[in-house]
Structure 1
Amino acid sequence: MIKPLPVTVIGGYLGAGKTSLVNHLLRNADGLRLAVLVNEFGALPIDEDLIEAQEDDIISIAGGCVCCSYGSDMAAALSDLRKLDPAPDHVVLEASGVALPGAIAGSVGLMQGYSMDGVVIVADAETLRTNANHKYMGDTVTRQLADADIVVLNKVDLVDDKTRADSTDFALSYAKNAQLLGAEHGALPPEVLLQSFVGRNRDSGARHDTSGFDSVSLPLETPCDPAALGRFLASDELDLVRAKGFVRDESGAVHAVQSVSRRWSSEPAPEDSPIGLVCIGLKPAFDEEKLRQQIAQAFG
């Protein structure tokens, strides 16, 4: 069974901080091989001290990550990534500042051998409303927000509480199904942004606390309907940022189930996949005991 290569689209208007976010992911890859796709190398988002070598259209980055340019042929660039040895674990596709990430995500979703992990939109806490009200750029900014599974409200350290609250409310008025996360310099825990980080090197039943997030690993030994579990994990009732796990259905087959905000997916997985679930939520709303009870009642 060939495992689909997960793709996360990073979007947001010019100057929002996409470059900072991508570099933070690369600096904290922790052995995960990330492939960063950019529209053109002229706008290379990689900090120089991370670059180890460049050959043709591929830049080698410390830790086994790579950066490639996709230009006008995204499908060909994604296909070429499959030929790399070793193959990447996850693709981060940085859209241009004026692109509509939802259209890119739709194209990726139609490609065999790839799975859409989610759309992350980076917004500048200080300039978001000004940009959204601009005569020429406003439509692009609001449509980008509407495409989001996760909105990263960046540069929150540069604004007062009222501006942050106003920008939060404004963003969520367009990103109606998204989780909004505040950040400084694009720095957020990688497992919040990319599903490939979720559950790495964690014991079942363990609870973890990273900055403004809580996560918990849960056993899930009882067979269940993976689609029903996916819908439940993405529901308003749980209000999770992310969840990822492996479960068995009634026939004994293993499925990978994941959610990001209100998007969810389920697909066949190898038999030796570790059965269990990792859930990530925002503090202080994240209630571990309530979550355990909800999962147990619905699928225990």
Structure 2
Amino acid sequence: MTLSDTGLLVTVLSGYLGAGKTTLVNQMLRQANGKRLAIMVNEFGDLPIDADLIEAEGDDLIALAGGCVCCSYGDDLIAALGQMAAMQPPPDHIILEASGVALPAAIASSLGLMPGIKTAGVVVLADVGLIEGQLANDYIGDTVARQLGAADLVVLTKTDIAGPSQVLRAGKAVAKHCGDALILEAAQGQLALDLVLHPQRLAVYEAGSPHGSGKGLNTRVETPEGPVDAETYARALAQRPEVIRAKGHVQTPQGVRTIQVVAEQWEVRDPPRDAQVGVVIISLDATPIRQPENA
């Protein structure tokens, strides 16, 4: 089988050293649910896979739970992709983890020249505690900025150990370099698998603007009528297939609560000081999101 026979989909996963790529890769594998994922890493010496997910190891290929695999592409990306294409059955999707100092735009350009390969997009991770300093660093700032500039989706990582003001500053710093890429938060690598597999579908949100729009996405601010149950409201939004992202504050009988929804995942937490009621909702259709029933 040749590459032109397969039409392999590849997502490039990038981010500077320590951004959290290893954590995210393992979360993706645990979410695979029968989808055959192939993880491609530069060297097995930097293997990002948790030991409990590994079923068998060979010189060039590691078999993982659920039919997933991991391989090293080293200096010959084309040969490694050919190996993926020759598998029976071939993987459903490839996640190519770039090294921490690699430029994802160059990798994506190379993939675009290969027959039968389709780049699903570029996902770049940014550690909210480090990204501002990295961008300002004389030695690595340009590399980090160019990584962000190639992104279809930027994932702010380690938000669970950062304060709200730090997350906000990091998001604003990232937004200066990533164009129209969608910016999402992911605590402990928790992110819906489909967002990583198809980031180009989401690369249309103007970061920091509650009314950014384009290419089929509708972004608006909704204010639920009257007090609602925050968990019921967030769960109902998460169950709507058209909702990509929602975040904001709702009034409940017990006071204001913060909700966050990413694809089918949701959470409710205490609000920051002086939080204003309103929820920013990014959806795949152009119609307003009505208040969920029984909220």
Which residue of structure 2 aligns with residue 285 of structure 1? 280
Give the aligned length. Answer: 222
The aligned amino acid for 1:52 is E
Q: Does 1:74 align with 2:77?
A: yes
Alpha-carbon distance change, 239 to 91 in structure 1, aligned in 2, over 3 angstroms: farther
Distance 1:289 1:75 in 2: 35
Pairwise mapping of residues 8-27 of structure 1 onto structure 2 (< 5 A)?
8-27=11-30
Query: With structure 1 as the length reference, what TM-score do the two structures score?
Result: 0.69
The aligned amino acid for 2:245 is L
Distance 1:6 1:154 in 2: 25
Query: With structure 2 as the length reference, what TM-score do the two structures score?
Result: 0.70
Which residue of structure 2 aligns with residue 48 of structure 1? 51
Q: Does 1:234 align with 2:229?
A: no
Q: Does 1:147 align with 2:110?
A: no
Match of 2:102 among 99, 102, 120: 99
Query: Which digits, 9 at most, give the CA deviation of each residue in 1:52-105, with x for residues without a partner?
Result: 001221000000000000001111111110001121000000000000011101
Match of 1:126 among 122, 126, 129: 129
Alpha-carbon distance change, 71 to 151 in structure 1, aligned in 2, over 3 angstroms: same
Alpha-carbon deviation of 1:140? 0.7
Distance 1:234 1:104 in 2: 25
**CA RMSD, aligned part only?**
2.5
Distance 2:88 2:284 in 1: 43
Alpha-carbon deviation of 1:238? 3.2
Alpha-carbon deviation of 1:286? 3.0
Flag the structure with larger Rg.
2
Q: Would the aligned equivalents of 2:14 and 2:125 in 1 still touch at CA under 8 Å?
A: yes
Distance 1:23 1:234 in 2: 31
The aligned amino acid for 1:145 is L
The aligned amino acid for 1:238 is N
The aligned amino acid for 2:40 is L
Instruction: Give the gaps of 5 or more residues in structure 2.
Output: 202-212, 221-240, 247-278, 289-295
The aligned amino acid for 1:281 is I
Instruction: Give the gaps of 5 or more residues in structure 1.
Output: 199-231, 241-277, 294-300
Which residue of structure 2 aligns with residue 268 of structure 1? none
